[in-house]
Structure 1
Amino acid sequence: MARARQRGASWRQLAVTLDMPAMTLHRQFNSGHGVFAIGQHRGGPAPTETNTETGDRQANAAGQPTFADAPATSPGAPPRQQDGDPPAVLDQLVGRERELADLRPLLAKNRLITLTGPGGVGKTRLALECLAKIRASYGGGVRWVNLAPLSDGSLVAPTVASAVLGGSMPNGSVEDAVADGCGSRSALIVLDNCEHVIESCAELVEPLLERCPRLSVLATSREALQITGETVFPVTPLPVPGSGRGTVARSGAAVQLFVHRARSVQPSFTLTDTMAETVATVCMRLDGIPLAIELAARQTAFLSPTRLLEDADRRLDLLVGGLRTAPHRHQSLRSAISWSYDLLDAEQQQVFRRMSVLPGGFEEPLATALCAGLGLSGHRMWTLLTALADKSLLVSDQVATGRFRMLESLRVFGRECLEAADESEEVHERLLAWMADFSERLLLWTSNPAVDLAGQLDRERHNLHYAVTTAERLGDPRTPLLGAALTSCWNRRGVPRQAERLAERLLAAHASPSVGRACLSTTLSDALCRRGHHADAVAPAEEALGIAQTREHPTLIVRALGALSRVRSCLGEHDVALEIYQRQVELLRTLEQPTLLAMILNRLAWKLLMIGRADEATGHIEEALSLLDSDNALEALSATLHTAAGVSITRQRFEEAAQYFTMALTMQSVDAEGKLYNLEGLALVAMTDGQPERGLRLLSTAKTIREKSHLVADAWWNDMVQTAAERARQDLPPARAAAALADGAELSHDEVIRYALHNAWPPGRCDHPDSVLTSRQWQVAELVAQGLTNQQIAARLHISPRTAASHLEAVKIRLNLQTRAHVVTWVAATEHTRKE
């Protein structure tokens, strides 16, 4: 045998000569039993249709291995892992507590569970951890089958049979061997890495489960088996923390995994507050994929987290050096992704490469545009997109139905493949063309008014940003038009400073008086107005109007007039602003633009409210509402409802005003400034309707958000709100008014929306909105009640002792308490009240 192998004979050739399976020959020859084992196989009767059942019974009677009875090693031989034994686990699983808790009851109720997810997400590791916790519950035993080394689907069945029988081959069918192995006892087979032999796995598992009623199967794969009775359990990337420092950044499972693995190569690794934020960003850039995070963490022996973050775009070259014992596909991030890519057919690879240019996800129309020229129908495109999602190379958006996205690491790999295929220039041109057409429809209202372009703009904003960056790099003349759409989005999302910087840069680089430049000038004027720089906003608005009039472009004229009217209104030039609004209305009545007409009528009504002409405003609001469809044009409808609420307030109809403000706030509009106006409106109603503390909380949150976003309210509106706030403060004891303002300042955007709409106070802050303590002050008071010193409180909350003392002093002032002991008594009494 050895000489034959040295002469170059393959295992398959030797197997034919010896009349036995090639896998068995290879395994037996390398097991230490050698020719003796091979001779035994040749000397035994070949299984036939008539003797299979008898042979199985004789084998079991003679002690042939079953699930629970793996073959023993030869006398004197060292212990070794048998075929079918799970791999030994030598590291700690981090961040999968929820998945483990969910998976165990699923396995108890379902006989086929498939763990799916992208390469490196930790499917195998999760299966191993789960197995360690449930193995004892399977009386018939557990067998682990690693399918990764198989290059041919025909090897799946014999590999499973060998694992079930602890290295031996069955005398009959695989189904019979498994059935005899588990008998009447429950048993579990784990099929690890099914994706490259997925059809063979499906063809084996379904009849196995039918033949063996006490058998369960746990599979790991980058795509589902798609057979009867399968329950798919998606293994998603680890959660990464949002923005924040210190304890917030440390809280994510991804960061915890990074720290744990970093300490395995550098035991002295310490996560400071500043470093925690950097590590959290690294984990976010790596999509929360455990393999990528582990590879990055091991680089901390040579590179700081800051350097890792700087080199994130080179991740495929940087993240190498996996454990020597790990499979090849886990030795580097590139290998893990390449394994999945190589399993795609040529058509799927083409679509994957082209989708990799989109950082913000996509829907079928954009995907079809990028793949134009490939001869794909809409139906075929959808089939390919869902196939890539099934193979864990795309992620289906859980919020926007029919939308997909690609993890950033996959995008990096895909763009490399795009360059290698010499397709990059073509795909980017198709992207710019599609985005330019979309931008024109958005900015000049040339599309069907039933289409919610504002909502689509918000979904496409990251792709649009990428398109602007690409166009700017190429010096493309479409850059100003693309930039106008992007800055329009940023203005609505409450980041006008960012919009201002981009608009000024693009206008400086593209001086030609184009439609795109006119549109970009209007968004620059809008950004400056939102930031309170009204005088600076005049010039770009007037330039836009000049270009529009020269080109005799009606909708562009309307757009430019809109920018100019806002500027004049903010400057207090009310008569001029009203005249401009009237010009817009007259022009729009000649065009078929009902949504746009409603928007301008609303602005005209708002302007009339500003100067005390509420009666005139009412007619315009009623006409605007009649033109708007509640299913579309959400921003226009939300703004119009807000103006209607303003009319109700001037007439002292506070309940009606609250209804309008609430309706406007519940709409899924992306207009950040509009939401602030509605929050302030609800605060105004509350403060004038006997709820001063609620009003002050809402107003305080809105003020905090305005300051962070550099958004300035109209002067007349701000004066009205502040007058009501001053009355509310006078109606309350100073401590309660201060507490309400402090409470509101701590609320996040989502928390204040829930409080405004549902009066739902966030859990984990004060249990009751009427409490006079902020959440941090509550924490300090409770720790004081537990007997902790200021130094100990500081250590517990990761703050300085001076800050702890400051919080304690604020608690005593707010509660009108004199000593630390009084705080202890107050906390005890409050806790007693809570329990009641």
Structure 2
Amino acid sequence: MHRQRTDPPTPPSPPGKVSAAPEPPNRVKAMAPQTAPARQNLPVESDSLIGRDRDLSELLRLLESDTVLTLAGADGIGKSRLALRLATQATGLFADGVWLAALDDAATRAEVVTRVCGALGITEEARRDPVETLCDALRSRSLLLVLDGCDGVADHVAEIGAALVSACPAVSLLITGRAPLRITGESVWRVPPLPVPSDGDGAEPSGDGSVRLFLDRARTAVPDYASTPQEAAAVNRICRRLDGIPLAVELAAAWAGRVDPAGIDAGLAAALATADGGSEDGCPRTRVLDAVVGWSLSLLSQPERVLLRRLAIFPNWCLELAEQVCAEAPLVEADLLDLLSSLLDRSLITLTGEQLNRVRYRLPAPVRAHARARLADAGELAWMRARHTARMIAIADDLNRIALSGRPMPWAERFVYWDRAVAEYDNMRAALRWSAEAAHARDGLRLCAGLRPLWFTSHQFTEGGEWAEAFLAMDDDRPEEDGGRGAFDALRGRVMVQHAELNWPRKRFDEIVATVTAGAVLCRAAGDTESVCLAENQLALIDDLRGDHESARTRLRDVLELARSAGDLWSEAIALNVQGAMAARGGDFAEAETLFNTALMIMRGMDHRWGVGSTLMAQGAAAEAQGDAQAADRCYREAMDIQRANGSAPELASCLAGVGRVAQQLGSATQAYDYLAESLQLSHANGRLAGLAEALWSIASVSSRQGVAEEATRCAGAAAALAEISGWAGPASTRFPLSAELTEGAASTQSRTWWEEGRRLGVDEAVELGVRLAETGRLPRPRPRPARTPAPEPPRKALTPRESEIAQLIGKGRSNRTISDELYIAPATVARHVANINRKLGFNSRQQIAAWVDRHSHPT
């Protein structure tokens, strides 16, 4: 079904550009719109796309009408290049942009979901299946999701794709793979090879796509390449011999600077004649491509061939990583840059972009498969995997050591270790996978221990938890090495304690107690005070939640004594933070303030912004609970600046909600709604129901103080329902306070009806309600007229034709979603029109609009 999009899209940002971290907002302003999402994450195309103009035109038409479009074909046929160019040209068709998730190296369902969520900026919620979170986040968004390289995870992609198609009617999928996925409604485009010249040795270069591609690539090195009739005829033969396979043509053309057309033709003929007649997938074009790769490698120098096969170990890499892993005899580290440049000139490696001011590379999939086979033939596969894994363990160890170190260090310097782990995360996954396949428990556990800060702060609970469980289930693979059984048990205990921390947001307290207790025993025996402190902090929190406050206080006193004796500033600050939260829940706000301030002093001394931000959020919640709006505003605002700079979306949304709640108490309802609307939209974009619950509860709280009882009660009911699903417990309490706070004294049947109506709202409807309340709340309230002078009925002519149309549909009982479908406009546009109608007519609810429509339709 063709989807009409009426909202004009904003101009796309330049492909491949990553926005710099925004500056903290000016506190004089109500809100700076700094959380508006980008519109695409497509990489910059390195060269031209030739011979696909007609395909692009047809595919663009298909994208406008079909929800799922799969580009299928053999490796090297150009599926990914075509998909990226198509996505770039389709940006204007999708109001919420186009987004690429590369799945070439994914192996598990958790990896697929994590990559897709990462591409879209969606954050996992610990108590929900990430696919549910993904669907909730995209349900009302109009976007194109490009899933590139799905062959290794086709079943998982098919499951996730089917869920998106069912739940998200405005989301389109563009998929690449060797075969279709068989998703309902899937259209399949078999990507053909480029046209090749007809038989015969013509004297002129053919105008067919394959010849055009060959000459375009060749003439970047030799401007007059194939300028004679004999050379042109040889180029025609080359393209016929290569069957128009784009990657094969590019690999052959890359030798134009060193080999004439006749030499290339003769070399390819010999390679194809001696190539194995079979292939892994039974595809003749795969055999052709593999033969061309082999021919190209035969022309390389010995060091180039050695480097290329060793590079097959990486999903992607930078020069520094290649030097650290590959530079072993016969290769010399100082030569690697020149060797990489040479391989790049031969089209055997490609650029993928830049991270941390380092250029990153990758091997095209067919080249990587061939090079990996040569690596195995050389007997280097296991050796290279061990070197690669050792380097990843070193990076993970550095992250864990620096991220939570109590040593004073500039935050920018500390944060580099997070960034480095993110840049190498695909390589980390590869090392985890190899360690699991080989049952190398020690290596896997070291990787899990090192990646704990990244998994926790980026909310990757499912993937991190699955890896930890896999390696904890293994026995020691090297009992006689690396410190023997004692060292293995110490490592195992550490990961057990950290794994329980990943489970904490899921609130599986019985599992946490069992795992932490067992892990702490191993850590005590090994003298691992840091892990013991982490374990006791978790157990103290659980004791406090279960009402055993004395046990909790005892545990925390022991943690403080142990941390101080070991000089562990991080564990000391965390223990103080936990004590402060417990004191606040018990109503001892003076004690909580002292404890929070002491924890902040330690965190600021270390310049640990993540720790400072977390402590400030807890301190702000405590100040808000005791009614100190000024202190709460100060804490929330500083924490908001930190979380915005760190890119921590869930924490930022919570800070925005806190600033919004206290803004009204400080005399600015308009500013309150500005911050609350940003919090609501950010949580909706990230798919986090806990964030939506907090934002909706906050909007309901502010609205109820303005006297908007009906819509505020509905909003509170919606927040309560979302809180039950997500586990959000309120900003300053372990109990969810909505019902008591927002319905106190409203025991009427009507109030209960409004509450239940809110509970029954879907996620998008609840968000629309929150947006509407925020928009109308910013507007000045109409002054009540004297009772003896009845207010005149608002004139119908005050509304625009579109607003009148929407008002009539509201009068017929239509929801915003139904109106959106009937009028072919976005739900957000309907919500804006409804807000305008309320403003112009002086109303604050849909019921008033409906009653007004009814009076005009049936005048007395």
Could you say if the C-alpha distance between residues 100 and 703 of structure 1 is closer, same or farther in structure 2, counting changes exceeding 3 Å? closer
Q: CA deviation at 1:661?
A: 1.5
Match of 2:590 among 597, 615, 635: 615
What is the CA–CA distance in structure 2 between the aligned matches of 1:554 and 1:376, rounded to whole Å? Answer: 43
Q: Which moved more, 1:544-553 or 1:665-674?
A: 665-674
In structure 2, what is the equivalent of residue 528 of structure 1?
A: 503
Q: Which moved more, 1:593-602 or 1:671-680?
A: 671-680
In structure 1, what is the equivalent of residue 144 of structure 2?
A: 252
* C-alpha contact (below 8 Å) 2:304/2:343 kept by paired residues: yes
Q: CA deviation at 1:410?
A: 2.6
What is the CA–CA distance in structure 1 between the aligned matches of 2:343 and 2:464, rounded to whole Å? Answer: 35
What is the CA–CA distance in structure 2 between the aligned matches of 1:501 and 1:624, rounded to whole Å? Answer: 33
Mapped pair 1:332 → 2:332:
no
Q: TM-score, normalised by structure 1?
A: 0.52
Could you say if the C-alpha distance between residues 127 and 725 of structure 1 is closer, same or farther in structure 2, counting changes exceeding 3 Å? farther
In structure 1, what is the equivalent of residue 518 of structure 2?
A: 543
* C-alpha contact (below 8 Å) 1:278/1:305 kept by paired residues: no
In structure 1, what is the equivalent of residue 45 of structure 2?
A: 117
Q: Aligned letter for 1:419?
A: A
Deviations 1:704-747 (A, max 9, x none): 4476997645678345773599349989x989999999999659
Q: Aligned letter for 2:49?
A: G
Q: TM-score, normalised by structure 2?
A: 0.50
Could you say if the C-alpha distance between residues 323 and 379 of structure 1 is closer, same or farther in structure 2, counting changes exceeding 3 Å? same
In structure 1, what is the equivalent of residue 375 of structure 2?
A: 421
Mapped pair 1:815 → 2:846:
yes
Q: Aligned letter for 1:117?
A: E
What is the CA–CA distance in structure 2 between the aligned matches of 1:786 and 1:670, rounded to whole Å? Answer: 43
In structure 1, what is the equivalent of residue 324 of structure 2?
A: 369
What is the CA–CA distance in structure 2 between the aligned matches of 1:602 and 1:561, rounded to whole Å? Answer: 13
Q: Which moved more, 1:242-251 or 1:507-516?
A: 242-251
Q: CA deviation at 1:518?
A: 1.6
Q: Aligned letter for 1:557?
A: V
Could you say if the C-alpha distance between residues 99 and 535 of structure 1 is closer, same or farther in structure 2, counting changes exceeding 3 Å? closer
Could you say if the C-alpha distance between residues 410 and 564 of structure 1 is closer, same or farther in structure 2, counting changes exceeding 3 Å? farther
* C-alpha contact (below 8 Å) 1:519/1:556 kept by paired residues: yes
Match of 2:429 among 443, 451, 465: 465
* C-alpha contact (below 8 Å) 1:499/1:527 kept by paired residues: yes
Could you say if the C-alpha distance between residues 616 and 505 of structure 1 is closer, same or farther in structure 2, counting changes exceeding 3 Å? same
Gaps (5+ residues) in structure 2? 1-8, 16-42, 57-87, 92-97, 101-119, 121-133, 149-163, 197-207, 211-238, 255-292, 477-484, 694-721, 781-799
Written as runs of structure 1 = structure 2, the 5 A alignment for 1:283-432 is: 283=175, 286=176, 304=182, 321-324=193-196, 325-327=208-210, 328=239, 331-332=244-245, 334-335=247-248, 338=251, 357-359=313-315, 365-373=320-328, 393-395=349-351, 400-402=356-358, 404=360, 406=362, 410=364, 413-422=367-376, 423-432=380-389
Q: CA deviation at 1:628?
A: 3.2
Q: CA deviation at 1:568?
A: 2.9
Give the 3-state SS of the residue equivalent to 1:373 in structure 2: coil
* C-alpha contact (below 8 Å) 2:51/2:209 kept by paired residues: no
Of all paired residues, the percent bearing the same amino acid is: 14
Q: Which moved more, 1:596-605 or 1:350-359?
A: 350-359
Deviations 1:615-639 (A, max 9, x none): 3333443333333359953321211
Give the 3-state SS of the residue equivalent to 1:509 in structure 2: coil
Could you say if the C-alpha distance between residues 566 and 410 of structure 1 is closer, same or farther in structure 2, counting changes exceeding 3 Å? farther
What is the CA–CA distance in structure 2 between the aligned matches of 1:495 and 1:529, rounded to whole Å? Answer: 13
* C-alpha contact (below 8 Å) 1:439/1:482 kept by paired residues: yes
What is the CA–CA distance in structure 2 between the aligned matches of 1:741 and 1:683, rounded to whole Å? Answer: 23
Match of 1:655 among 624, 627, 630: 630
Match of 1:599 among 544, 558, 574: 574
What is the CA–CA distance in structure 1 between the aligned matches of 2:611 and 2:819, rounded to whole Å? Answer: 54
Deviations 1:145-204 (A, max 9, x none): xxxxxxxxxxxxxxxxxxxxxxxxxxxxxxxxxxxxxxxxxxxxxxxxxxxxxxxxxxxx
* C-alpha contact (below 8 Å) 2:619/2:635 kept by paired residues: yes
Q: CA deviation at 1:657?
A: 1.9
Q: Aligned letter for 1:122?
A: L
Could you say if the C-alpha distance between residues 507 and 247 of structure 1 is closer, same or farther in structure 2, counting changes exceeding 3 Å? closer
* C-alpha contact (below 8 Å) 2:673/2:775 kept by paired residues: no
* C-alpha contact (below 8 Å) 1:465/1:486 kept by paired residues: no
Match of 2:655 among 667, 678, 690: 678
Could you say if the C-alpha distance between residues 375 and 780 of structure 1 is closer, same or farther in structure 2, counting changes exceeding 3 Å? farther
In structure 1, what is the equivalent of residue 27 of structure 2?
A: none
What is the CA–CA distance in structure 2 between the aligned matches of 1:419 and 1:502, rounded to whole Å? Answer: 27
* C-alpha contact (below 8 Å) 1:558/1:587 kept by paired residues: yes
Q: Which has the higher contact order (CA 8 A, sep 6+)?
A: 2
In structure 1, what is the equivalent of residue 390 of structure 2?
A: 433
Give the 3-state SS of the residue equivalent to 1:514 in structure 2: helix
Give the 3-state SS of the residue equivalent to 1:404 in structure 2: strand
Could you say if the C-alpha distance between residues 515 and 99 of structure 1 is closer, same or farther in structure 2, counting changes exceeding 3 Å? same
Gaps (5+ residues) in structure 1? 1-95, 103-114, 130-234, 257-271, 287-291, 756-760, 773-777, 827-836
Written as runs of structure 1 = structure 2, the 5 A alignment for 1:698-777 is: 698=679, 701=683, 703-705=689-691, 712-713=727-728, 717-718=732-733, 722=737, 726-727=741-742, 746=764, 770=778
Q: Aligned letter for 1:530?
A: P
Could you say if the C-alpha distance between residues 392 and 633 of structure 1 is closer, same or farther in structure 2, counting changes exceeding 3 Å? farther
Give the 3-state SS of the residue equivalent to 1:436 in structure 2: helix
* C-alpha contact (below 8 Å) 1:247/1:273 kept by paired residues: no
In structure 1, what is the equivalent of residue 264 of structure 2?
A: none
Give the 3-state SS of the residue equivalent to 2:384 in structure 1: helix
Q: CA deviation at 1:683?
A: 4.8
Deviations 1:240-298 (A, max 9, x none): 47566999887439799xxxxxxxxxxxxxxx955999995553xx5xxxxx8xxx7xx
What is the CA–CA distance in structure 1 between the aligned matches of 2:493 and 2:821, rounded to whole Å? Answer: 56
Q: CA deviation at 1:472?
A: 0.8
Deviations 1:203-234 (A, max 9, x none): xxxxxxxxxxxxxxxxxxxxxxxxxxxxxxxx
Larger radius of gyration: 1
* C-alpha contact (below 8 Å) 1:517/1:544 kept by paired residues: yes
* C-alpha contact (below 8 Å) 2:318/2:359 kept by paired residues: yes
In structure 2, what is the equivalent of residue 216 of structure 1?
A: none
What is the CA–CA distance in structure 2 between the aligned matches of 1:569 and 1:277, rounded to whole Å? Answer: 45
Q: CA deviation at 1:476?
A: 0.7
What is the CA–CA distance in structure 2 between the aligned matches of 1:336 and 1:514, rounded to whole Å? Answer: 55
Could you say if the C-alpha distance between residues 620 and 254 of structure 1 is closer, same or farther in structure 2, counting changes exceeding 3 Å? closer
Written as runs of structure 1 = structure 2, the 5 A alignment for 1:122-201 is: 122=49
Deviations 1:79-127 (A, max 9, x none): xxxxxxxxxxxxxxxxx9989999xxxxxxxxxxxx98346x6268789
What is the CA–CA distance in structure 2 between the aligned matches of 1:518 and 1:688, rounded to whole Å? Answer: 48
* C-alpha contact (below 8 Å) 1:244/1:277 kept by paired residues: no
* C-alpha contact (below 8 Å) 2:729/2:736 kept by paired residues: no
Task: Report the number of matched residues.
Answer: 562
Q: Aligned letter for 1:373?
A: E
What is the CA–CA distance in structure 2 between the aligned matches of 1:438 and 1:708, rounded to whole Å? Answer: 38
Mapped pair 1:508 → 2:485:
no
What is the CA–CA distance in structure 2 between the aligned matches of 1:502 and 1:331, rounded to whole Å? Answer: 43
RMSD over equivalenced CA pairs, Å: 6.3
* C-alpha contact (below 8 Å) 2:490/2:523 kept by paired residues: yes
Deviations 1:323-376 (A, max 9, x none): 4443148933642674568599766776666555555x6555544332242687
Q: Aligned letter for 1:468?
A: L
What is the CA–CA distance in structure 2 between the aligned matches of 1:683 and 1:97, rounded to whole Å? Answer: 28
What is the CA–CA distance in structure 2 between the aligned matches of 1:724 and 1:709, rounded to whole Å? Answer: 13
What is the CA–CA distance in structure 2 between the aligned matches of 1:625 and 1:100, rounded to whole Å? Answer: 39
